[in-house]
């Protein structure tokens, strides 16, 4: 067994809070594997780097010899976690949850040891509950206690509706801890209330309360809001390595250190030396950022892919050359004008026509290096030309 102090050092890396650290130390002292719980609601199919922060912490517990327990919220996802939200979440069907869960597990396998992972679906116990069982669960808390949550309190004060099923969510997540007899539960800082409910319910069931470990929410590429697909500031782990590398190069010099701490295994002492090197001028921030890109891509796609992604980035952005490989789109010979919103969405470069119009308005679309200001324009006379969208997307047009 790894010494307690070394375990605490590894567990504490990047952590926002431990409730209670003394309890964690006592649990570790027993020298038996602890049951470390993480609950996920698969409301989307793809994982981004922000979500990997907590998966990496769960992997660390696996490496320390503890039992990782991943709970798939087949029922809680249908209720919708209200944490941090100013309105009710839309409902999602059980079929969609289970389909997303399958993709989640495939991607999580890049981080976790799936052979040693205990996977549970909370529908297994909630589907067996009678209505009286639900009443007994509700009796474990009060409306006043639930309104202590900042998001519920804010919505209540503003007169924004809070539906009763939303108030059930913390109890459902807390009951998951009872069902799997969790020793530790991991969660983001926005999950603190829910994690504490788990402690309360375990006490009510004469179980030893779990230790709650919270992780920071990773800011997205904009450096302001948490990483989210809905904000468009995310880096998906299944994206092409070239896309990942290009996105990471847009991270600010300040934020990149948080990415290093939460998304890589580079020792903290080594990160300190790198920071000193940047401060003294002996290390260029861009060189450090490129290393960050290589580290992350190597973990998910391999060293060769990381090397190729950096070379591609340097060719396109440092040497101002076109990518060596870009998608092609063949025009119909009868076309006399380019309808850019239709063309770029049809080619799969941009998700929607409205997004194309927005990017054009912001000056983010060019044809062979010349910025485009109109959504419709004559077809260039040359046989081939390249449309650039944003900083990293290219489309070769062939007549």
pTM of the model: 0.78
Q: How far apart are CA 44 and CA 54, in angstroms?
A: 17
Assess if residue 230 is contained within a domain. Answer: no
Q: How many helices (H) and strands (E) does the chain have?
A: 18, 13
Residues 6+ apart with CB under 8 A from 129: 137
Taking the C-alpha atoms of residue 190 and residue 173, their distance in angstroms, rounded to an integer, is 13
Higher per-residue confidence, 299 vs 358: 299
Q: What is the DSSP string of 106-120?
A: HHHTTTS-TTT-EEE
The residues that bridge with 213 in the sheet, in sequence order, are 18, 186
CA–CA separation, 102 and 393 (whole Å)? 30
How much is the pLDDT for 321?
A: 64
Q: Which domain holds residue 364?
A: 328-398
Kindly state whether residues 78 and 121 are assigned to the same domain.
yes
Instruction: Give mean pLDDT, residues 71-95.
Output: 73
Which pLDDT belongs to residue 86? Answer: 47
Supply the pLDDT for residue 158: 81
**pLDDT over 90 (residue 375):** no
What pLDDT was estimated at residue 229? Answer: 81
Number of domains in the chain: 3
Angle at alpha carbon of residue 213, lines to 212 and 216, rounded to 5°: 135
In a domain, residue 250? The reply is yes
123's CB contacts (< 8 A; 6+ apart) are 74, 75, 94
Question: Do 209 and 357 have their domain in common?
Answer: no
Same domain, residue pair 129 and 204 = yes
Q: How confident is the model at residue 148 (pLDDT cuts 50, 70, 90)?
A: confident
Does 108 lie in the same domain as 13? Answer: yes
- Same-domain status, 207 and 302: no
CA distances for 345 relative to 13, 68, 201, 233, 394, angstroms:
43, 42, 50, 20, 13
121 with 55, same domain: the answer is yes
50 belongs to a structural domain: yes
- CATH number assigned to the domain comprising residue 374: 3.10.290.10
**Per-chain mean pLDDT for the chain:** 88
Q: What is the pLDDT of residue 59?
A: 97
290 and 384 inside one domain: no
- Which of 318, 337, 364 delimits the end of a domain? 318
């Amino acid at each position: 067994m790894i010494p307690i102090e070394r375990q605490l050092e590894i567990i504490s890396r990047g952590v926002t809070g431990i409730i209670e650290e003394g309890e964690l130390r006592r649990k570790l002292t027993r020298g038996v594997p602890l049951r470390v719980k993480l609950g996920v609601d698969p409301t989307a199919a793809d994982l981004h780097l922000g979500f990997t922060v907590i998966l990496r912490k769960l992997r660390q517990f696996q490496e320390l010899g503890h039992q990782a327990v991943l709970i798939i919220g087949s029922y809680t996802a249908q209720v919708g976690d209200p944490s941090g939200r100013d309105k009710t979440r839309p409902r999602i069907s059980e079929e969609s949850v289970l389909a997303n869960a399958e993709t989640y597990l495939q991607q999580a396998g890049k981080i976790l040891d799936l052979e040693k992972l205990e996977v549970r679906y909370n529908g297994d116990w909630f589907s067996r509950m009678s209505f009286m069982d639900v009443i007994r669960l509700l009796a474990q808390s009060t409306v006043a206690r639930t309104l202590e949550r900042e998001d519920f309190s804010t919505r209540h004060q503003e007169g924004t509706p809070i539906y009763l099923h939303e108030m059930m969510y913390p109890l459902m997540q807390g009951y998951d801890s009872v069902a799997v007899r969790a020793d530790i539960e991991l969660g983001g800082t926005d999950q603190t209330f829910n994690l504490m409910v788990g402690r309360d319910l375990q006490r009510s069931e004469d179980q030893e309360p779990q230790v709650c470990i919270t992780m920071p929410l990773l800011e997205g590429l904009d450096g302001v809001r948490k990483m989210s697909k809905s904000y468009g500031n995310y880096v998906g782990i299944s994206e092409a390595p070239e896309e990942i590398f290009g996105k990471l190069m847009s991270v600010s010099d300040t934020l990149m250190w948080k990415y290093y701490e939460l998304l890589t295994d580079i020792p903290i002492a080594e990160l300190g030396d790198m920071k000193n090197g940047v401060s003294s001028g002996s290390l260029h921030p861009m060189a450090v950022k490129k290393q960050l890109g290589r580290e992350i891509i190597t973990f998910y796609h391999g060293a060769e892919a990381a090397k190729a992604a950096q070379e591609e980035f340097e060719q396109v952005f440092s040497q101002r050359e076109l990518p060596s490989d870009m998608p092609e789109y063949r025009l119909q010979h009868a076309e006399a004008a380019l309808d850019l919103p239709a063309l770029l969405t049809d080619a799969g470069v941009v998700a929607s026509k409205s997004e194309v119009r927005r990017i054009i308005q912001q000056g983010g679309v060019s044809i062979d290096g010349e910025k485009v200001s109109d959504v419709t324009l004559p077809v260039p006379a040359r046989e081939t030309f390249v449309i650039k969208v944003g900083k990293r997307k290219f489309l070769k047009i062939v007549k």
